[in-house]
């Protein structure tokens, strides 16, 4: 009876569990619904990549920096077949919002990219780290008609850097072959009247491009339009000698530029400086093959051209059409002034020194009296070998070139039989200073007079 009368008591161990559990859950780390969804999606995405690409499994990104946006994390496959352009756009938009962010193109991948526009302004310094390979569409017919001016177009960016050990491959061979373009016309009833530039910057400032390789662009490899504060350092540009119009670096209406310690080989000008450019410094550049370092062509179709304060020094040119040259069309207006070419080494260059105010890329061009005025040009310490003509200064009949100075020129024919005295100088004024080889260069320039300078400078008013 005593055992039956024992009173009921509270189960304290069980009660303690109910009491403490809410406190434990309040301090333990939790995973949000969105994070779980994102994790599940990533697992599914990785599994799909492995099964759809024949066992292709990209290496995991080890980056832990929260300011780095890897295109693989935005769905890029990097198999060289799938179009990854929208992944690049997505990574760009995310990085653009964060100061000091980086868009990463990882090594070990080949990313096929349709033409894209990457726009600013962004929130502070932004970097595009290219360590892998970017591939343009290889077939002309795969390019949309609306995107033929450029492939990777950067617009309105500021304080921006492209760098890395990777390659930007324009896969331009079909654009250089008339038979390929004929096939496109036959299939789609049109031939593109322009060819894409690989990398183009428009209205951008504080831009640095360094270390990367740009190869086989359909047309120009690297172009700057209406931009300023440009630095290009230690890049390599490469396309075959017979690839038409594949300029290495093209500057248009761009100021305050430094391009240095780079190797450029292409089918046109290694560096082309066009109207609206000023304060440009090129130095320590190797150019081979190509058409040399060019100011122009300027003044086409009677347009105005203004170029000033150009310094080109410590340049090596080998097997190029021209060395350093200025070229303008008849009928243009404006001026080219304060241009210096110093310490230029040429090897088997057809025409090492050129001013051509009768430039024409057609079978025949109409003679016109107007011309872009050229003044204040210096050629100093230019030496090496040529294959056709050491110097050619062909200035306008009505607008002479003035203040053209040559000094310490030592040019020899690279093979026997080339006349060492072959030079053409027409309506060019300035002074020469020994040593000069060939010696005929000494008689190339007429003496400046006040009248001649006045005539020349009367054409500079548009600038």
Catalytic residue among 205, 221, 250, 291: 291
Please name which of 106, 123, 28, 100 lies closest in space to residue 72, comparing C-alpha atoms: 106
- pLDDT surpasses 50 at 242: yes
Distance CA 335, CA 124 (A): 37
What pLDDT score does 169 carry? 98
Whether the predicted pLDDT of 148 surpasses 60: yes
Q: Is the peptide bond before 339 cis (omega within 30 degrees of 0)?
A: no
The percentage of the chain sitting over the pLDDT mark of 70, rounded to a whole number, equals 81
406 preceded by cis ω (within 30°)? Answer: no
Sequential DSSP letters for 236-247: EEE--TTSTT--
- Position 48 scores a pLDDT of 31
What would the pLDDT profile of 170-216 be if each residue is shown by its tens digit? 999 999 987 555 555 555 555 556 789 999 999 999 999 999 999 99
pLDDT at 454 over 50: yes
137 pLDDT higher than 70? yes
Alpha-carbon span 157 to 199, nearest angstrom: 13
Task: Note whether 158 and 205 are within 8 A (CB).
Answer: yes
Quickly state the pLDDT bin for 26 (edges 50, 70, 90): very low
DSSP tag of 74: G
Q: For residue 179, what pLDDT is reported?
A: 59
- Identify whether 38 is a catalytic site residue: no
Would the pLDDT of 223 be above 80? Answer: yes
d(CA 109, CA 81): 11
Residue 2: phi, psi to the nearest 5? Answer: -65, -35
- Distance, in Å, from the CA atom of 31 to the CA atom of 34, rounded to the nearest integer, reads 8
Hey, what are 406's tokens? 């040559």
Predicted confidence (pLDDT) per residue in 358-369, tens digit: 999 888 898 999
Reported as a single tens digit per residue, the pLDDT across 314-348 is 999 999 999 999 999 999 999 999 999 999 999 99
Q: List, in order, residues 6 or more apart from 174 with CB less than 8 Å away.
A: 138, 139, 140, 180, 181
Which pTM was predicted? 0.84
């Amino acid at each position: 009876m005593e055992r039956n009368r024992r009173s009921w008591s509270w189960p304290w161990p069980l009660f303690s569990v109910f009491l403490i559990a809410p406190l434990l859950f309040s301090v333990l780390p939790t995973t949000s619904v969105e994070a779980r969804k994102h994790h599940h999606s990533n697992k599914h995405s990785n599994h799909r990549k492995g099964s759809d690409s024949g066992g292709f499994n990209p290496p995991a990104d080890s980056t832990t920096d929260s300011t780095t946006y890897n295109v693989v994390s935005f769905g890029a496959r990097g198999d060289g077949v799938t179009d990854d352009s929208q992944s690049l756009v997505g990574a760009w938009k995310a990085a653009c919002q964060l100061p000091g962010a980086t868009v990463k193109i990882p090594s070990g991948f080949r990313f096929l990219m349709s033409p894209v526009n990457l726009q600013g302004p962004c929130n502070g310094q932004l970097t595009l780290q290219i360590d892998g390979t970017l591939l343009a569409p290889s077939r002309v017919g795969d390019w949309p008609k609306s995107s033929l001016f450029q492939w990777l177009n950067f617009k309105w960016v500021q304080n921006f850097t492209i760098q890395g050990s990777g390659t930007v491959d324009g896969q331009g061979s079909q654009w250089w072959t008339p038979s390929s373009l004929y096939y496109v016309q036959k299939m789609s009833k049109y031939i593109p009247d322009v060819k894409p530039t690989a990398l183009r910057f428009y209205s951008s400032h504080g831009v640095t491009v360094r270390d990367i390789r740009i190869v086989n662009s359909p047309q120009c490899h690297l172009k700057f339009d209406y931009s300023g504060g440009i630095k290009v350092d230690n890049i390599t540009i490469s396309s075959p000698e017979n690839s038409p119009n594949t300029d290495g670096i093209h500057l248009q209406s761009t100021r305050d530029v430094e391009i240095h310690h780079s190797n450029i080989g292409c089918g046109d000008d290694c560096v082309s400086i066009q109207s609206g450019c000023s304060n440009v410094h090129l130095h320590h550049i190797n150019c081979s093959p190509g058409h040399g370092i060019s100011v122009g062509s300027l003044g086409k179709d009677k347009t105005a051209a203004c170029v000033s304060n150009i310094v080109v020094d410590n340049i090596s040119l080998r097997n190029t059409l021209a060395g350093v040259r200025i070229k303008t069309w008849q009928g243009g207006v404006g001026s080219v002034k304060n241009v210096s070419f110093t310490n230029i080494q040429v090897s088997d260059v057809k025409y090492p020194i050129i001013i051509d105010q009768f430039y024409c890329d057609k079978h025949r061009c109409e003679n016109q009296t107007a011309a872009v005025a050229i003044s204040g040009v210096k050629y100093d310490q230019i030496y090496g070998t040529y294959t056709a003509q050491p110097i050619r200064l062909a200035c306008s009949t009505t607008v002479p070139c003035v203040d053209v100075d040559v000094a310490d020129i030592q040019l020899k024919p690279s093979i026997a039989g080339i006349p060492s005295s072959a030079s053409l100088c027409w309506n060019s004024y300035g002074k020469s200073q020994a040593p000069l080889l060939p010696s005929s260069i000494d008689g190339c320039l007429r003496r400046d007079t006040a009248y001649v300078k006045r005539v020349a400078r009367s054409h500079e008013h548009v600038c």
